[in-house]
Amino acid sequence: MNQLTDASDTRESIMRATYCALCEHGYADLTMQDIAAEFEKSKLLIHYHYETKEDLFVAFLDYLLENLREHVETIENDDPAERLRELFDLFLSGPSDDEKRDFHVALLELRAQAPYSDDYRKQLRRNDRYLHDLVADIVRDGVEASQFDSTDSDETVTVLLATGDGVRIRRATLGVNDADGAIDDLFARYLGWEETA
């Protein structure tokens, strides 16, 4: 049991060090030494768990998915429309400071490597599938509760998530923060949902 706890603590520390190094250096210029500099233990321990930078970042993408799942579990609202709004607020929460902005830029760089790495692409697809299924479940719940118009949920979810990705890319690359109106328009157009304020 103690060894499992130690392994979990080590993994968490490596993932946190990876996050900090990404924010500081971006993905393209990041080295294992940069990550080791943020890690309180030895660089050898990082290499013991992850042989290559690619192995480490596949694990990091999985770690981000785990964190998303944990955050989603904190959404306690039973109302499908409100759950969808809270999820998109979480998904689209824009960088509020330089560190978050730097992280989003580094993550965009990492995603840009997917065409050249089967392992990155597989993990990103896994992350995307989780998010797609989660939003699709909420949309179906909203249709059943007569909050949303009867709709092709797969197409709707694809459009909503593609728009969400576009908003995040615009924030990371252009520094614009114009999501709220676009997302509200999409909710109205694809779900027939008019938010009552």
* Residuewise pLDDT in 10s, the chain (197 residues): 444 456 678 899 999 999 999 888 888 889 999 999 999 888 889 989 999 999 999 999 999 888 888 888 888 888 888 888 888 877 776 555 666 777 778 888 888 999 999 999 999 999 999 999 999 999 899 888 888 886 777 888 888 888 888 888 887 788 776 665 677 777 777 777 665 44
* Radius of gyration for the chain, computed over Cα atoms and rounded to the nearest angstrom: 19
Determine contact, residues 27/106, Cβ cutoff 8 Å.
yes
82 closest CA partner among 19, 25, 38, 145: 145
pTM listed for this prediction: 0.80
So what's the pLDDT on residue 120? 92
For domain 53-191, say whether CATH 1.10.357.10 is its number: yes
Amino acid letter at 3?
Answer: Q
So what's the pLDDT on residue 95? 52
Determine contact, residues 195/92, Cβ cutoff 8 Å.
no
109 closest CA partner among 173, 41, 194: 173
Domains in the chain: boundaries: 53-191
In the chain, what is the straight-line distance between the N-terminal and C-terminal CA atoms, in Å?
50
Pairwise CA distance, residues 52 & 35, whole Å:
12
Count of alpha carbons within 13 angstroms of residue 92, beta-carbon side:
25
